[in-house]
Amino acid sequence: MLLKNKINSIKSILGNSKVLTSREELYCYAQDSTNLRENCVLPDCVVYVETIEEVQEILKFANKNKIPVVSRGAGTNMVAACTCPSGGIILNFSRMNKILDFNPINMTMRVQPGVVLKDIKELALEEGLFYPPDPSNYKVSTIGGSIAQSSSGARALKYGTTKDYILSLKVVLADGTLVKLGADTIKDAVGYHLNQLIVGSEGTLAVVVEADLKLIPKPETRQVITAYFESIQDSIIASTSILKSKILPSTIDFMDNNSIRTVEEFSCVGLDVTKEALLIIELDGFISSMEYQIETVLNILQNNNAKDIQVAKEENEIEKIWGSRRASFAATTRLAPDVVSDDIIVPRENLVKLVLGCKNICNENNLQVCIVGHIGDGNIHPQIALDLDDDNQFKQYLDAKSRMYDLAINLGGTISAEHGVGKEKISYLDATLDINSIKLMKQIKKIFDPNNILNPGKVFK
Ligand SMILES: Cc1cc2nc3c(=O)[nH]c(=O)nc-3n(C[C@H](O)[C@H](O)[C@H](O)COP(=O)(O)OP(=O)(O)OC[C@H]3O[C@@H](n4cnc5c(N)ncnc54)[C@H](O)[C@@H]3O)c2cc1C
């Protein structure tokens, strides 16, 4: 716990009104979307930063006094990445939420870290431009959190992840130094790509205070095909067959029967609860290319035992479909007091083994699981509904989790595709990465943050 005089110094840097210290207020920052009780530790204070200079001052002070500093966007990550296991200061970026520049000719946007992804997308659209990374909760999650977690979403299949849309970053280092990394140009081959090193570093290397984003032209049109299957295997074979045909949908998403039923009970959108799997395939591009794409995909689906195939062309129909897919996490929360959503990925050819294997593992551990995923990428999210206060269920959950990770690794995959490591997955790092790559990462961390004040206890032990 921080001594009162330290808190007073922080208040003198920012002013009283920007520093939260009451227990009730701090409690709101003790957790993120991870849910696990063991992560619930109060920070010593939460500070509302409004300028780069304020971030620099706070970091200088924290570094001198070796106080942990944890950056926080919307707190929606699922790996306890913005919790405070050793207390310290939370940097709240909700007031650094301005879009500083939008240049439709260069197709770039300069933003502060607290800008919500939805606002970036909507402004880009006004000029016919597109910011593709789309975590399912893009209506609330921030660009700072997205950069730190390298988040992606359904459209990664065609458009890549956050890292593909970062040109330059302004970051504040642990000692308060402001540095610009990368260039504001579409290409840049000068020196190491330190901007990319920050992407996915989960707030452990530096604090992002400004980002220059790349935008692309918005596809002229999109259509969404939905198709049901009597077996999970058929749905996955159909999805790989689409990719083999050299059509690249912007998304191929998947819901298993438990997810279909849970979402239908939650939102009554007319999903067929009798089917084992649902594929949601979005195709986009020029209007002139759509007929060929749609026909090719429809043929493949028909040849792979798909049932009740529908094509949605109108925006309101399309949004209704995505709305039900995005509702799957919220819907699962109705099944039990808690839900833990995981994130694993394998090469596509091993997806059937992964999905069926995870279902088996959860069954054997008496756990309810709803599996959704961006299966075009080989990425699934087993969402486990349970009561974390039930010791027996918690033990079974831990067993299931480590068996699912082992399975993903044995199938040539890895333990996170888009959620990151945070505190949650640290103990599985050794089994996942080359030991020498972990050594290198630790050396890099030491150079950036020798006093280990930036988000300590995340990514590494
Ligand atoms: C319902 C739901 C659906 C989701 N769907 C997806 C999905 O489809 N794809 C996906 O990839 N993720 C998904 N996520 C996870 C989450 O949305 C992403 O990780 C998101 O990008 C986190 O943004 P945030 O603003 O909430 O960040 P936070 O959770 O607040 O922070 C995340 C990390 O970023 C760091 N951080 C925040 N701001 C800064 C900064 N300025 N500088 C340095 N570090 C910073 C934090 O310290 C922490 O390590 C989902 C989460 C939920 C709850």
Averaged pLDDT of the chain: 96
* pLDDT at res. 2: 67
Q: Which of ligand 1's atoms lies nearest the C-alpha of 208? A: 42
* pLDDT at res. 45: 96
* pLDDT at res. 215: 98
Nearest-CA residue for ligand 1 atom 33 is: 145
3-class DSSP state of 127: coil
> With contact defined as beta carbons under 8 Å apart, do 129 and 155 qualify?
no
The pick from 46, 151, 372 for probing ligand 1's pocket by mutation, whose C-beta has the most ligand atoms within 8 angstroms, reads 151
Cα torsion through 134, 138, 142, 147, rounded to 10: -20
CATH 3.30.465.10 in the chain: give the residue spans: 99-217
CATH 3.30.70.2190 in the chain: give the residue spans: 221-329
Nearest to 208 by CA among 115, 109, 83, 121: 115
Gap between the Cα atoms of 122 and 308, Å rounded: 33
**Residue spans of the chain under pLDDT 50:** none
Domain 4-92 fold: 3.30.43
206 CB burial (10 A radius; 0-12, 13-18, 19+): buried
3-class DSSP state of 413: coil
Ligand 1 centre to CA of 241 (Å) is: 32
Top CATH class of 99-217 equals alpha beta
* pLDDT at res. 212: 98
Q: Are strands 379-386 and 338-341 parallel, antiparallel or unpaired?
A: antiparallel
Sign of the alpha-carbon dihedral angle for 399, 404, 409, 414: negative
Residue type, 227: A
pLDDT tens readout for residues 30-50: 999 987 777 788 999 999 999
Nearest to 171 by CA among 140, 200, 194: 194
* DSSP letters spanning 8-45: HHHHHHH-GGGEE--HHHHHTTS--TT--GGG----SE
CATH 3.30.43.10 in the chain: give the residue spans: 4-92
The binding-site residues of ligand 1, defined as CB within 6 angstroms of any ligand atom, are 32-33, 70-78, 81-82, 93, 113, 135-137, 141-142, 144-146, 148-149, 151-153, 202-203, 207-208, 329, 418-419, 455
Which pTM value belongs to this model? 0.95
> With contact defined as beta carbons under 8 Å apart, do 108 and 215 qualify?
yes
The CATH-assigned architecture of domain 221-329 is 2-Layer Sandwich (3.30)
* pLDDT at res. 5: 86
